[in-house]
Structure 1
Amino acid sequence: MHIEYDRENDTAYVCLVAHIADGAAVRQIPVDGVGADAEVFLDVDASGRLLGIEVIGAGGALPVEVLERASKG
């Protein structure tokens, strides 16, 4: 698992597989109930396998410790 955080845009991506090829994520599934200022989307491949998690408004949805350890995106 690898986490990238773009502090300027307050977005994070939690990559659950070693490498996601371009176009592998064919669908984004929105997740409700994460936080008032955050949007979360699950990226899945054609077989329905979860590839990664995109978090917009990551500062309000993820623990500070996670964001501090994330790679800069």
Structure 2
Amino acid sequence: MKITYDSTANAAYLYLQAPGTPVAKMYACDPVDAEGMINIDFDASGRLVGIEVLDARGKLAPEVLAGAEDITRRGPEGT
């Protein structure tokens, strides 16, 4: 499983299929029930593609974020 993390947005994405797999449907979990914003992505066959976690520092264990690929955008060009 691949995990990416953008510390500026404090958002993580957990890939459950290969990155680039087309997302056909996104389900937004109820932010009250989930105590935050979590989006679940599915492909056209209804298989789980990935999970987007906003407020990732509050929702994921530090060791999960430490092992994630850093995709933080440091400037207007991503530098």
TM-score by length of 2: 0.79
**2:62 aligned to which of 61, 64, 69:** 64
CA offsets, 1:45-64, max 9 Å, x none? 11110000001111111111
Q: Does 1:42 align with 2:40?
A: yes
Question: Aligned residues: percent identity?
Answer: 39
Higher Cα Rg, which structure: 2
Post-superposition shift, 1:6?
0.3
| Pair 1:12-2:19 in alignment | no
Q: What is the TM-score when the length of structure 1 is the normalising length?
A: 0.84
How far residue 18 of structure 1 moved from its aligned partner, in angstroms, is 2.3
Q: Shift of the alpha carbon at 1:12?
A: 0.3
Compute the displacement of 1:20 (Å): 2.4
CA–CA separation in structure 2 for the residues paired with 1:5 and 1:72: 5
Q: 1:22-33 residue pairs with structure 2 within 5 A?
A: 24-32=22-30, 33=33
Aligned length: 69
- Counterpart-to-counterpart distance in 2, 1:42 and 1:50: 7
